[in-house]
Chain A
Amino acid sequence: MDATGEIRNPNSEIPKKSEARMTKEKHQISPALGIRHSGLGLPSDFGFRISFVTLCFCGQILLYGDMNHQTRVYENVFEMMSSEENPTPLVRINRLNPTPEFQLYAKLEWMNPFGSVKDRPAWEMLRDLEERGEVGGARGIVEPTSGNTGISLAAMAKTRGYHMRAVVPNKVPLEKKVLLKIAGADLDVISDELCPAPGLGEGSINLAKTHAKASSHKYALPNQYENEKNVEAHFRTTGPEIWRQTEGKITHLFVSLGTCGTVSGTSKFLRSKNPGVKVIAVQPTEGHDVPGLRNVAQLGISKLFDSSLIDDILEVEFRLAYTRALELCQNEGLMAGPSSGLILEGALEIISRDKKGFGVMIFPDSIFKYTSNMMKHIPGLGAGTSA
C-alpha cells in the first residue's frame, strides 16, 4: 500500500537484491537437480521467481518449476496455484460502496487456475493424499461436492493420472454438473435433502462415504467437510495473501459459510497477526438456493466450523445474492457469482454499522456457472434471449 493508502500490486515490486541473489543461486544449482527451465530467456531478476518442488506419491519429482509470476510463464498448471507470492487479485469496490471511509476490496478467487476458491483446499487435500500414498494407479478419489471442489479435484486428479467420482446434490446448477464431466469426473447426482432431519447428514456426503467404505480399493475420500487440510490451505495461502496485499491494514474479513475451511483458516491466520480483525460470516436464509453455501442450521455437517473464529454471522435473504451479483457485474465490472453477491450485501450492512474500516471480501467464484440460476431468480433476465 502506498502513502495514499491505496494498494499496490506486490508483484510489481522489484525484489530486494538479496532475494534476487538467492533466486540466482537456485538457478545455478537447478541443473543438477534436473530442473527444467522455460528456455524463453526471461530475465531472472524481473519479478518473483520461485523454485518449487512437489513430490508425488511415488516419490518422483513431478513438479519442479522455475516460476516467474510476473511474466506468468509456467511449466504446468499447478505452478499457477495461488500463494503469498502469487495471490489472487484484490479489487476495490467503488460504485457500490457508499462509504469512502470504509475501503472495501474483493478478493477474486475465480482467478485461481480451476476457477474458484476451492482450488486451494482441493490442492492441499490432494497433495496430502499423494504424499501418504493414498491415491494413484487404480485408486482415485470420491468427493461430495456442490460443484467447485469437484471441478478442482477432477481437473487436478485427471492431470495427475487418476480418476475422480463426484457426488452432487440435484440442486447444483446444470452448468456445474456439465463442467464436472468436462473436467473428467464420473458423476452421481442425487436428491437434495427432502425434509429437515437431525443428524441425517446429506445424501451426497453419505453416498460418497459409502463409495469410499464399500470400494476402498477404488476410492480415497478427501472429504472437504472434515479434512483439516481444508483449513490449512487457507491458513497457508489465503490469510498470508490478504495480510500482505493489505499491508496489515485489514480490519474486517467478509466470507460465506460452506465447508467453513475458508473462514476457519483465513480467520486463524489473520487473528494470529492482529487479534482485532473482525470476521463476519454471511449466510443465506433457510431454504435457500445458493449452491455451495450453508445456513447455520445446515452447518452440523461441517466439522470445520468454529464459532470462536467468527465475530458476527449475518443472515441475508438469499435472493439478494442474485441481485447483488448482478449489480457487481453491471456496476463494478466484477463478474461475481451469487455467493459473492451475498457477501457484498453482508459487507454493506456492516459498513453502515461500523462506518470506518478496511474490509476484504472473499469472492468464491464467478457468475459463469450460474446463468441458469440467475435466470431463475432475476425476473426478466431470460427475456429476449431467443429469436
Chain B
Amino acid sequence: MARYANPEVLVETDWVLANMGKPGIKLVEIDVDTKAYDAGHIPGAVGFNWQTQLQDQVRRDIISKDAFEKLVSGAGISPNDTVILYGDNNNWFAAYGFWLFKIYGHKDVRLMNGGRVKWLNEKDKPLTTDVPKAAPVSYKAAAVNLELRAMLPQVFDAQKGGWNLVDVRSPDEFTGKVIAPPGMTETAQRGGHIPGAKSIPWSTAVNQDGTFKSPDELQSIYIQQKGVDPKKDTIAYCRIGERSSHTWFVLKYLLGLNNVKNYDGSWTEYGNVVAVPIEKG
C-alpha cells in the first residue's frame, strides 16, 4: 500500500496517550461545539475557541500575526514544540487550526487521526475537566504563508480554467437545494456552487471511526473517481472554511498535491457577492 505523502503530520490516539505530558508536546483542542472542551478534554490540552480566538473580532478575517502570536504564547507553545491538534466533527476546526499554524509558519504541527470522537470511544483514553495552567512564552511567528489561502479574485481567476475547484459541502448545499445546513447562522443570499467546481463532500475522506482513509483509497476517490488533476493548482471551499480546511489537509499533506489553497471566504462570501456567476443543480 502506498504511504501518505507526508505521514508525519498524522498521529494516532495511542501515540498521543503515550506522549502526552512530555516536554515539547503540546495538545490543542479546537471544536465546532465550543462547549465540548469544558465538558472534558485530553489531560494537558488547551482549548482554542474558533469563534472568539481564531477569527478577527471586528472584520471578517483570520486572526492577525500579532493575535496569533499572543494566543499561542498564552498557551505556552514555543516555535520548536510539536503541536498536536484535535477536535470534534472529525477535526474540522482542528484542520482549520492546522491551516492557521501553517500560515504563520509553525514547523511541527500534526492532527490526531480520528479526532475527539475516536479518543472518546476508546476505553483507555482519559478525559478531564481540569484546565492546564500554561506558563506563557514569547512566541514569534516564523513566516506568513498567505499562499495557502485563496481570496475572491483568485476564485474568479480559477474559473477561467487550469485549476481544480473542489466544493466539499453536502450535496444539497452544492446543488442549491439548501443554502446552509439547518440552524446555521452564517449563510448566504443565494444557493448553488462556483461554476466548474466538483462536488466532493469532505466526509468522503474519512472512515466510520473518523480516521482518514488509506492513501490508496484517497488517491482513488479524489484523483481517479472525482477527477482532481494533480498537475493543476487547487482551491477547496465550503461554507465558512472549516470543512474545506479538512479537505485542504487531505489534498496537500496526505495526497501531496503541490499548490492547494483553502478559500475560507467560501460560500458565505461567494454566495453573497452581487452579480457573480453561480451554477445550480
Contacts and interface: CB of A to CB of B under 8 A. Distances in A.
A200 B210 contact: yes
B207 A210 contact: no
B101 to A, nearest CB: 23
A213 B40 contact: yes
B206 interface: yes
A191 B183 contact: yes
Nearest to A170: B183
B32 A191 contact: yes
A195 B39 contact: no
Contact of B116 (A171, A198, A206, A211): A206
B220 interface: no
A197 B126 CA distance: 25
A172 to B, nearest CB: 11
B36 interface: yes
Interface in B235-257: 243
Contact of B117 (A200, A214, A300): A200
A114 to B, nearest CB: 26
B134 interface: no
Nearest to A211: B39
B127 interface: yes
A369 interface: no
B33 A214 contact: no
B120 interface: yes
Contact of A197 (B89, B121, B184): B89
Contact of B203 (A191, A196, A203, A287): A196
Interface residues of B, number: 34
Interface string A62-95: 0000000000000000000000000000000000
B182 A196 contact: no
Given A192-B183, A199-B206, A207 B39 contact: yes
Nearest to A216: B127
A210 B125 CA distance: 11
A22 B209 CA distance: 56
A9 interface: no
Contacts of B126: 213
A98 interface: no
B240 to A, nearest CB: 10
A42 interface: no
B199 to A, nearest CB: 13
B208 A199 contact: yes
A214 B129 contact: yes
A207 B203 contact: no
Interface in A25-61: none
Interface of B: 32-33, 35-36, 39-41, 88-90, 116-117, 120-121, 126-129, 169-170, 172, 181-184, 201-203, 206-210, 243
Q: Which A-B residue pairs are the 10 nearest by beta carbons?
A: A214-B40, A199-B208, A214-B127, A210-B40, A210-B39, A213-B127, A194-B181, A197-B203, A195-B170, A198-B208
24 contacts: A171-B182, A191-B183, A192-B182, A194-B181, A195-B181, A195-B201, A195-B202, A195-B203, A196-B170, A198-B207, A199-B117, A199-B209, A200-B89, A201-B117, A203-B32, A206-B117, A207-B36, A210-B36, A210-B39, A213-B126, A214-B40, A214-B127, A287-B172, A287-B182
